[in-house]
Amino acid sequence: MGTWYVLLQRWHLEVAVVLGFLLDLLLGDPEHWFHPVRLIGGLVRELERRLYPKAGPPVAAFWNGLFLWLCCVGAVGGSVYLLTGVLRQHFFLAGFAFEVLLSYQLLAARCLSNSAAAVARALKEGGLAAGRKAVSYIVGRDTEELSEAGVIRATVETVAENTSDGEIAPLFFLVFFGAAGGWVYKAVNTMDSMLGYNNARYRLFGRAAARMDDVFNWIPARLAALF
């Protein structure tokens, strides 16, 4: 094998992250492409169906939610670690390509840029009503009463938050912990978005998901603020 192959074996993670970042900038997240987050979401829903306590003391909901969190993190992290490791060991180029794909699918810079641009375009071309409708696709709040300044503020806020969750944090865990670390973060973030609500159902059951998302985002969120 040539020198490039030896260097690629040594620096496969760094090259995969760079190529994944460039692919995200080039392609974004096409709607018709399958995304692994759907698998994570399906796993979380199935675990919730099996583990949500129907009876027993309230504290059981917390412990069952913590067990769900551990199961999901273990399944996602272990699967990615084993798949990438085995592929790289036996079919290096295929394993490297898979690592590039996983890195690419973790990132969302192009998607965030397109979403913000769509709101700006709607405000400019269709007025406030169109702007409210466009921003409703990217925020969870009621947008019907927002002023033009409110639409702009909501767009900036969601882009800022998702720059941390969808770009800075995945890159942080990719660089320091590889594809498995990046996808463990994505699983943690997905569980928070699905279970981390302060309501009667999830106040205890989703507490581990919400708190662990805070822990995982502590450093990346501060890096995002700095950038």
Average pLDDT, the chain: 92
What residues contact residue 215 under an 8 Å CB cut-off, 6+ apart?
none
pLDDT in tens, 28-82: 888 788 889 999 999 999 999 999 998 888 899 999 999 999 999 999 999 999 9
Provide mean pLDDT across the span 83-94.
93
- Pairwise CA distance, residues 220 & 116, whole Å: 22
Instruction: Output the pLDDT for position 120.
Output: 93
Instruction: Output the pLDDT for position 216.
Output: 97
- Residue 48 near residue 213 (C-beta atoms within 8 A): no
Provide mean pLDDT across the span 176-198.
96
Residue 1 has pLDDT above 70, yes or no: no
Provide mean pLDDT across the span 122-130.
91
- Pairwise CA distance, residues 33 & 40, whole Å: 16
Percent of the chain, pLDDT > 70? 100
Q: How confident is the model at residue 10 (pLDDT cuts 50, 70, 90)?
A: confident
Provide mean pLDDT across the span 149-175.
92
Instruction: Output the pLDDT for position 142.
Output: 80
Percent of the chain, pLDDT > 90? 74
